[in-house]
Structure 1
Amino acid sequence: MLLRLRRRLTHVLITGLAICAIMLIVMTLCPTKQEGCNLQHPSDDDIGVNIIQERKESVLFSTNLLVVVISAPSHEHVRNVIRETWAKNPPVEVRTLFVIGVKNLAGDVFEKLVHEKRRYSDMLFLENLEESYSALTRKIIETFKFVCEKVHFKFLLKVDEDSYVRVDKISYELLSKPQQRLYWGFFDGRAHVKKAGKWEERDYVLCDRYLPYALGGGYVISSDLVEYVAKNSEILKLYQSEDVSLGTWLGPLDVHRVHDPNFDTEYKSRGCFNSYLVTHKKSPEQMKVLYDNLQSHGKLCDVETRTRLSYQYKWDLPPSQCCERKDPTIP
């Protein structure tokens, strides 16, 4: 009797150990669920396609080039001109979103925006952001966080709503650009930190000049850099100027900084050149003229004009010597 009981206990013990071993193996082999914005790096068979690993039902759309236009709630007329000019009939691999902070908006203003959004389906509302110039850097952060979670994209082009964009040419040129860690625009590295006025930076203590940054009228960054900013947003220092902020955030990273004079994105335009990919400080009327020029004779400008010299960035020199305007052949 005692021997039979011992055999039963031994059998139960062996069976229990076997079940535990099987459970341990299953737990080891089954991957745990990963949350957050996780961009896949490209494979040899899929050249440079970064895809955000989110559940399919949470993704709004997929695109190669995502254009985000920083817009103001009351500027429906400007948005409509953009819709009727450079954002009209884009390449299939390009999508445009107008980004607007809607926190504390008057009810009638918000309802009008909702109607516009339903009509065009090209607007991103940031519900936790109240519009102001001082909130512009936060607006960029919140935009990056949203698109990182909700959009499959490979590159992001940020532009102001007074910029005219050649989305077709940018999309084509991206084929020959670095597919990861790309930071492409018109760079400045010798700008002194502003101590007064609209762009005053009270807390910029890193240097007496800003770290090299692409000017905010328009720049392109790859999705992995958007992910970097989005994931580290809680510990990034926000400066008054969003373009200065991005250049500072990316400063210590091993990124491909591509300076391109065809980004006419400074605080005032350098003129009109047919090679421009982005040209800043354009009124709605000027946008219509540029669009009509392209439609009628395939060129931006009736006559190419220059209002100030450009430069090629000299990366082999100290930033204070990077950007001399001497060569009249540079657009």
Structure 2
Amino acid sequence: MGQAVPVGCLTIDSHAIKRNNLKRQRKERTSNGSSGTREKVWYPFLSRLGQKYIQQMMALSDRLPQMEKRPRSKPMSGKTVTLLCVTSFLVGFLLSGRVGILQRAKKESNSMINHGSKVSLFTNNCENKRRLGEMGPIDVMNEVSKTHQAIQSLDKAVSSLELELAVARASKDSRLGLKNSKSTPQKVFAVIGINTAFSSRKRRDSLRETWVPTGSKLKKLEKEKGIVIRFVIGHSATKGGVLDRSIDSEEAMTHDFLRLNHVEGYHALSSKTRIYFATAVAMWDADFYVKVDDDVHVNLGMLATRLAQHRTKPHIYIGCMKSGPVLSQKGVKYHEPEYWKFGDEGNKYFRHATGQIYAISKDLAAYISINLPILHRYANEDVSLGAWLIGLEVEHIDDRSLCCGTPPDCEWKAQAGNVCAASFDWSCSGICKSVERMKEVHGMCSEGDGAVWNWTLS
């Protein structure tokens, strides 16, 4: 007899289980002998699972105490187990497929949203292109022109700010450099520096007798009209020598010199020009700084009028603009040792104001003052000034009233009401025999002695 083993609330008879399994196996073999290939495959597998389960239960029954035998439920057939397995598999397959479909649907939805935004951007882009396409060639050119003008305006604004900063720096440095630290540069309209030399006493006197005021009139012109006039000169190679003492004596009588820390010499005019602007900026806060040679006739009232027309402009370079040949041959006047920098033989200089007379605005003079040590000097001082300014945002003003010829040219123009601001002979780079002819030119081409006193700065 088999032993009854209690398991929880159930009582298991191991021998009865074996007999029932053998009977069930024989019955299923006879009843299912002609069943299909699928049951032949699945039944042995399930039978082995059942046998393993029975063996485990028998091993467990040996260790558990005996329990009261109770009736148990009828075990499931192999066909039912097979059906449950297949059903579970199909349900799992369907559920996993549904989840995959949902995930793909979500991805496709997001893709459609992104695609929709791309289509929207593409549509907007196409709309912009369509609008541009509808514009005529003239409209397109107008838009391009407006954009170009806006860029130029920004460039000029930046350049203006940079030069204004340079002016502020120069003004501060100049105040620090003055002997009396408490003093500040005097505010004036224009500083007119007349370039002169030790040997040019007669030229200076000829100007004092014509268009340069002297004594109290010189001070009055400076105080009432804001026009400062000075003869600009440096010192000799032997500082304090006889040449310097002669200028000291002349200055004691006339009080119309601006002395530079510069060694005088014809071939050092470029250096003298640099130092003149730097010194003038330190002493006077002017709207314009003018350089003129001592053999040129000037109508002060007309010169002030021409300068005042450009007072509101920031970066002004005024003169008679020219572009002469670069002379490479040694020994000739105006020979340029660095001719090779201007290209091949026969080339011309860039456009620049002729050296007899020109003017620059305050910010440009300040720029020269700040960059004094690194400004390159060419043989000709007017070329040097043009080189210093050509790379800046500067307005070049070609004013032909600053380069009238001597009589009869300036005389005819004065009679026609077109008074010249300055007159000289091109052939002599100034008035030929200026000491003898300055009074003659002044008498024929002058604007009148009262013109500058009637001029007012509006």
Q: Does the Cα contact within 8 Å between 2:234 and 2:263 map onto a contact in 1?
A: yes
**2:359 and 2:447 mapped to 1: Cα distance?**
28
2:235 counterpart of 1:102:
yes
Q: Secondary structure in 1 aligned to 2:205?
A: helix
CA spacing shift, 1:235–1:284, aligned 2, 3 Å: same
Partner of 1:158: 291
Normalised by the length of structure 1, the TM-score is 0.68
Structure 1 residues 216-245: Cα deviation after superposition (integer angstroms, max 9, x where no partner): 010111011111112112111100000011
Partner of 2:333: 198
- The Cα shift of 1:297 comes to 7.0
Candidates 277, 280, 283, aligned match of 1:144: 277
**2:390 and 2:350 mapped to 1: Cα distance?**
7
- The Cα shift of 1:250 comes to 0.7
Matches within 5 A, 1:1-331: 39-40=167-168, 52-53=171-172, 54=175, 57-59=182-184, 61-88=186-213, 89=217, 91=221, 92-105=225-238, 107-127=241-261, 129-177=262-310, 178-189=312-323, 191-196=324-329, 197-204=332-339, 205-207=341-343, 208-264=347-403, 271-272=409-410, 273-274=413-414, 275-280=419-424, 281-282=430-431, 283-293=434-444
Partner of 1:32: none
- The Cα shift of 1:143 comes to 0.8
2:353 counterpart letter in structure 1: A
- Over aligned residue pairs, what C-alpha RMSD do you find? 3.0
Structure 1 residues 32-70: Cα deviation after superposition (integer angstroms, max 9, x where no partner): xxxxx95359xxxxxxxxx93436744564421100111
Partner of 1:6: none
1:286 counterpart letter in structure 2: R
CA spacing shift, 1:265–1:224, aligned 2, 3 Å: farther
1:279 counterpart letter in structure 2: S
CA spacing shift, 1:224–1:290, aligned 2, 3 Å: same
Structure 1 residues 192-232: Cα deviation after superposition (integer angstroms, max 9, x where no partner): 21112121112240443211100001011101111111211
Partner of 2:113: none
Structure number with larger C-alpha Rg: 2
CA spacing shift, 1:59–1:72, aligned 2, 3 Å: farther
Q: Does the Cα contact within 8 Å between 2:286 and 2:362 map onto a contact in 1?
A: yes
> Which is worse superposed, 156-165 or 76-85?
76-85
Partner of 2:147: none
**2:246 and 2:449 mapped to 1: Cα distance?**
36
Partner of 1:23: none
**1:292 and 1:269 mapped to 2: Cα distance?**
10
Structure 1 residues 243-267: Cα deviation after superposition (integer angstroms, max 9, x where no partner): 011111111111111111112179x
CA spacing shift, 1:52–1:297, aligned 2, 3 Å: closer
1:182 counterpart letter in structure 2: I
The count of aligned residue pairs is: 252
> Which is worse superposed, 219-228 or 143-152?
143-152
2:268 counterpart letter in structure 1: A
Question: Higher helix share goes to which structure?
Answer: 2
- The Cα shift of 1:295 comes to 6.8
CA spacing shift, 1:83–1:38, aligned 2, 3 Å: farther
Partner of 1:25: none
CA spacing shift, 1:296–1:123, aligned 2, 3 Å: closer
Normalised by the length of structure 2, the TM-score is 0.50
2:207 counterpart letter in structure 1: I
CA spacing shift, 1:58–1:135, aligned 2, 3 Å: farther
**2:374 and 2:188 mapped to 1: Cα distance?**
29
CA spacing shift, 1:115–1:121, aligned 2, 3 Å: same
Q: How much identity, in percent, do the aligned residues show? A: 26
Q: Secondary structure in 2 aligned to 1:39?
A: helix
> Which is worse superposed, 196-205 or 245-254?
196-205
- The Cα shift of 1:285 comes to 2.9
Partner of 1:22: none
- The Cα shift of 1:104 comes to 2.1
**2:407 and 2:349 mapped to 1: Cα distance?**
21
2:286 counterpart letter in structure 1: F
Q: Does the Cα contact within 8 Å between 1:98 and 1:123 map onto a contact in 2?
A: yes
**1:163 and 1:175 mapped to 2: Cα distance?**
21
